[in-house]
Amino acid sequence: MNTFDKLNTLLSVTEGEYYDNDYFLDAEIQIALLSEADLPLLLTAWQSQNTQWWDRFTQSSAHIQQPVLRSLLAGAITTRYKIKQILSLMTHLPAQADRSELSQSLVNYSAALWHAEPKLHLQIQLSTWSCGLSARLLEKLGFSSWKEAGL
């Protein structure tokens, strides 16, 4: 059984079994072992797995490898699914943003989300702040501070 299959099995069990057996610890280990070879399966899962599966994934992804995270985010932001999970995954990026295409895509995604989902303003601000994109998002939105933006 490959890493993704093990992870999928862990994340797919019932809630009681997941927490009673501390599978979240095993899930954290499996997520840390994911490689770029697992990306097609992850991106397929992004579309097909339920919110509970992705909530468990994001909660256990503290040690996800950066190339896997970056590629997963690049694929995930092309959909309008699982917005809160995308914002949560963004917090695992380095605190100092780079000038990559992904960083620009995340700013554009966050700006579009800002306009479309007013209830998520605080979560958007926290997610972009944690990965060093906060200033770029403010600029894109036309604000000079988060206070001016209403936060």
Of 105, 37, 103, give the one whose Cα is nearest residue 65.
Answer: 37
What's this model's pTM, rounded to 2 decimal places? 0.92
Q: Is residue 75 part of a domain?
A: no
**Token couple for 144:** 């000079």
Under the banding of pLDDT at 50, 70 and 90, the label for residue 53 is very high
Residue span of the structural domain in which 132 resides: 93-151
126 pLDDT higher than 90: yes
Under the banding of pLDDT at 50, 70 and 90, the label for residue 39 is very high
Residues 9 and 62 in one domain: yes
Q: Which of 11, 33, 67 marks a domain boundary?
A: 67
3-state secondary structure at position 148: coil
Q: Is residue 124 part of a domain?
A: yes
Amino acid 80: pLDDT = 74
Cα four-point dihedral sign 69, 25, 131, 96: negative
The Cβ of residue 23 has, within 10 Å, a number of other Cβ atoms equal to 19
Q: What is the SS3 string spanning 31-84? A: HHHCCHHHHHHHHHHHHHCCHHHHHHHHHCCCCCCHHHHHHHHHHHCCCCCCHH
Ranges 21-25, 34-38, 44-48, 117-121: which has the least confidence? 44-48
Amino acid 57: pLDDT = 97
Amino acid 1: pLDDT = 78
Under the banding of pLDDT at 50, 70 and 90, the label for residue 144 is very high
How many domains does the chain divide into? Answer: 2
Under the banding of pLDDT at 50, 70 and 90, the label for residue 149 is very high
150: left (phi over 0), alpha (psi -120 to 50) or beta: left
Q: Is residue 116 part of a domain?
A: yes
Q: Is residue 80 part of a domain?
A: no
Amino acid 9: pLDDT = 96
pLDDT digits (tens, 9 = 90+) for 89-114: 999 999 988 889 999 999 999 999 99
**Average pLDDT value for residue range 68-83:** 91
Residues 98 and 136 in one domain: yes
Q: Is residue 86 part of a domain?
A: no
Residue 17, H or E segment: helix 15-20
HSE value, Cβ hemisphere, 13 Å, CA-based, for 110: 33
Give the whole-angstrom CA distance, residue 119 versus residue 19: 30
Give the whole-angstrom CA distance, residue 93 versus residue 75: 15
